């Protein structure tokens, strides 16, 4: 695959990065001009005869030698080129994932496909597309899958813009004052005039003939709903503004929709222009599925993925990041049949999606203790310390790690032998006890024959990722780790990086 050559130059991480290698993401976002200097995907390395795992470890560590805070990307996280179509919570940093892919492609020639079983809104998807890699992704949240599906396409942006402007005009000319949807609490979460405007927009979108076009317009409506609802935008949980504030608040849902429309069209147009300049990117195949990771076994038909790149929840959604609650109001306004695999029962309550996610059910959790402790010393140590905490604390710990463990075999069934794994992980506390999630995931994978390559640490800028409200407190995630591993050779001997 032809790759984009960029000069080593400044990134948005910190001033020390002025001498570091840039990623393709930085170049695509207009942060560097192409030149004849080092090519993305060719990390600095000396011994070309060393095993790929050893060279990958050296390449990743080289970035930290060049800049100790490289992986923190404290000034990065730009939401451009499709990454900014919707403000999905706790999104991965595109530049970080891009750098990981670039360095892997520099030591492994035969990388063609990426799998993400906790896809979210598709950060890894876009970084794979920018490098001409095919992609398969899944997520239990239908809204996330809708957003990622739109990001996966090469739209005819002129045609989409024409359809979108027709929708805006139809909504503006509409006279109906009836609500197009109804659900418990609708009048709590939306003012009456907002309900009327959103209903007019929804009806206009349903008249668009192409489902692909409707899906792009639903994403615009979803972001509009997020901005005009009575739920605070400063938290991912549903948290209503005071009544007096919502009564006097200046809101124009149709104006907001048009503003989001203009922004998304601009981003999609710029992304298409850039992708046209990258060899093979227009022909990249991408699949996005509504799927629980525990039910993801062998969803990739034919050749298995070369790379697993993902970031699972850092704990049960209700007490970490409430993705389901964040998506509840937007999904109420979207036509369910336009999201294949979307089960409307996931909207039965504000917690339904989060209850179905990892750790969402505490039923029988205490029975998992012995089997988990056998595969992870870190789990055994946590259980010993949790004996002094509440029963609920032990249940929450065991329920989450049982569900995560139950997802590992289905997930890795989609990865080729000796496939590459990049797990972006965060750690939390339960009843004041720090949970060593990175060590636990490593041990659970090693119990399946995987090999550890390196663990990268990154600091998260203050208030960038926040836990959900729980008992009146908010916990901010301050650090993440990228656990880099190689999957089981399934009968072969794996070299260990020195």
Q: Are strands 305-310 and 286-290 parallel, antiparallel or unpaired?
A: unpaired
For the residues 55-72, what does the mean pLDDT come to? 91
The answer to whether residue 496 scores a pLDDT higher than 50 is no
Identify the bridge partners of residue 458 per DSSP, sorted by sequence position. 480
200: left (phi over 0), alpha (psi -120 to 50) or beta: alpha
The answer to whether residue 452 scores a pLDDT higher than 60 is yes
Q: Where are the alpha helices (DSSP H) in 108-252?
A: 123-130, 142-151, 157-173, 186-189, 192-206, 211-228, 243-248
For the residues 235-249, what does the mean pLDDT come to? 84
Query: Sorting pLDDT into bands at 50, 70 and 90, what band is 272?
Result: confident
Q: Per-residue b/e over 347-381, b at no fewer than 16 CB within 10 Å?
A: beebbbbbbbbbbbebeebeebbeebbebbebbee
Work out the mean pLDDT of the chain and round it to a whole number: 85
How do residues 472-486 score in pLDDT, each as one tens digit? 334 546 789 999 999
How do residues 308-365 score in pLDDT, each as one tens digit? 999 999 898 888 888 889 999 999 999 999 999 999 999 999 999 999 999 999 999 9
In degrees rounded to 5, what are phi and psi of residue 34? -60, 145
Residue 4: the pLDDT is: 33
Which of 162-166, 230-234, 388-392, 488-492 is the least confident region? 488-492
Q: Are strands 34-39 and 5-6 parallel, antiparallel or unpaired?
A: antiparallel
- Nearest CA-CA partner of 110 in 309, 311, 282, 304: 304
Residue 173: the pLDDT is: 98
Within 8 A by CB and 6+ apart from 352, the residues are 324, 345, 346
In contact, 402 and 440? CB cutoff 8 Å? no
Q: Per-residue b/e over 261-270, b at no fewer than 16 CB within 10 Å?
A: beebbebbeb
Q: Where are the alpha helices (DSSP H) in 298-455?
A: 323-332, 352-356, 369-375, 377-386, 391-412, 437-446
Distance CA 469, CA 452 (A): 34
For the residues 423-451, what does the mean pLDDT come to? 96
Which of 288-292, 316-320, 388-392, 447-451 is the least confident region? 316-320
Whole-structure pTM over 0.85, yes or no?
yes
Secondary element (H or E) of residue 479: strand 479-486
**What is the longest distance spanned by two Cα atoms in the chain?**
71
Cα of 276 vs its chain's centroid, Å: 24
3-state secondary structure of 69: coil
Residue 45: the pLDDT is: 43
End-to-end CA distance of the chain: 30
Distance CA 277, CA 318 (A): 43
The answer to whether residue 282 scores a pLDDT higher than 80 is no
Q: Where are the alpha helices (DSSP H) in 413-475?
A: 437-446
Distance CA 85, CA 218 (A): 11
Half-sphere exposure of 129 (CA within 13 A, CB side): 30
In contact, 21 and 51? CB cutoff 8 Å? no
How do residues 483-493 score in pLDDT, each as one tens digit? 999 998 874 44
Residue 262: the pLDDT is: 97
Q: Per-residue b/e over 443-460, b at no fewer than 16 CB within 10 Å?
A: bbbeeebbbbbbbbebeb
Give the helix, strand, coil percentages of the chain, each rounded to 5.
Answer: 45, 15, 40
Query: Sorting pLDDT into bands at 50, 70 and 90, what band is 40?
Result: very low
In degrees rounded to 5, what are phi and psi of residue 217? -75, -30
In contact, 287 and 119? CB cutoff 8 Å? no
Over pLDDT 90: what percentage of the chain?
Answer: 67
In contact, 470 and 418? CB cutoff 8 Å? no
Residue 386: the pLDDT is: 96
Question: Which one is predicted more confidently, 183 or 95?
Answer: 183
- Nearest CA-CA partner of 359 in 290, 450, 288, 293: 293
Within 8 A by CB and 6+ apart from 167, the residues are 201, 204, 205, 207, 208, 217
Q: What is the DSSP letter of 476?
A: B
3-state secondary structure of 19: helix
The answer to whether residue 23 scores a pLDDT higher than 70 is no
């Amino acid at each position: 695959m032809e790759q984009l050559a960029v000069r080593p130059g400044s990134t948005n991480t910190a001033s020390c990065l002025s001498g570091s290698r840039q990623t393709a993401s930085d170049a695509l976002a207009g942060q560097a001009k192409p030149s004849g200097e080092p090519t993305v995907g060719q990390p600095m390395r000396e011994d070309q005869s060393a095993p790929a795992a050893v060279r990958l470890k050296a390449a990743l560590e080289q970035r930290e030698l060049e800049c100790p805070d490289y992986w923190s990307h404290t000034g990065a996280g730009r939401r451009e080129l499709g990454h900014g179509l919707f403000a999905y919570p706790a999104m991965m940093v595109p530049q970080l994932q891009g750098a990981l892919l670039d360095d892997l492609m520099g030591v492994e020639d035969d990388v063609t496909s990426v799998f993400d079983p906790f896809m979210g809104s598709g950060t890894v998807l876009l970084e794979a597309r920018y490098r001409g890699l095919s992609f398969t992704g899944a997520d239990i949240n239908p809204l996330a899958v809708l957003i990622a599906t739109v990001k996966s396409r090469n739209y005819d942006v002129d045609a989409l813009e024409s359809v979108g402007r027709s929708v805006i005009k139809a909504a503006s000319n509409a006279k109906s004052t009836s609500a197009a949807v109804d659900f418990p609490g609708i009048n709590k979460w939306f003012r009456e005039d907002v309900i009327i405007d959103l209903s007019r927009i929804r009806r206009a979108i349903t008249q668009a003939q192409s489902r692909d076009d409707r899906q792009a317009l639903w994403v615009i409506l979803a972001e509009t709903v997020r901005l005009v609802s009575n739920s605070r935008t400063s938290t991912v949980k549903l948290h209503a503004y005071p009544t007096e504030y919502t009564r006097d608040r200046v809101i124009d849902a149709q104006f907001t929709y048009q503003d989001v429309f203009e922004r998304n069209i601009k981003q999609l147009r710029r992304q298409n222009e850039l992708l046209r300049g990258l060899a093979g990117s227009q022909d990249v195949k991408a699949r996005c599925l509504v799927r629980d990771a525990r039910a993801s076994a062998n969803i990739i038909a034919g050749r298995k993925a070369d790379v697993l790149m993902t970031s699972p929840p850092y704990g049960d959604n209700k007490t970490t990041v409430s993705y389901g609650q964040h998506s509840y109001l937007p999904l109420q306004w979207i036509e369910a049949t336009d999201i294949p695999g979307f089960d409307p029962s996931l909207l039965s309550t504000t917690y339904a999606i989060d209850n179905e996610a990892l750790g969402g059910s505490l039923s029988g959790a205490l029975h998992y203790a012995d089997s988990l402790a056998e595969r992870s010393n870190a789990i055994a140590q946590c259980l010993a310390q949790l004996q002094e905490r509440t029963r609920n604390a032990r249940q929450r710990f065991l329920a989450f790690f049982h569900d995560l463990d139950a997802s590992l075999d289905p997930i890795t069934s989609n990865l080729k032998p000796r496939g590459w794994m990049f797990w972006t992980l965060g750690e939390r506390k339960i009843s004041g006890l720090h949970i060593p999630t990175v060590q636990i995931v490593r041990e659970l994978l090693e119990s399946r024959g995987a090999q550890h390559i390196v663990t990268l640490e990154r600091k998260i800028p203050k208030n960038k990722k926040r836990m959900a409200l729980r008992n009146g407190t908010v916990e901010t995630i301050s650090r993440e780790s990228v656990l880099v591993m190689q999957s089981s050779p399934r009968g072969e001997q794996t070299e260990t990086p020195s």
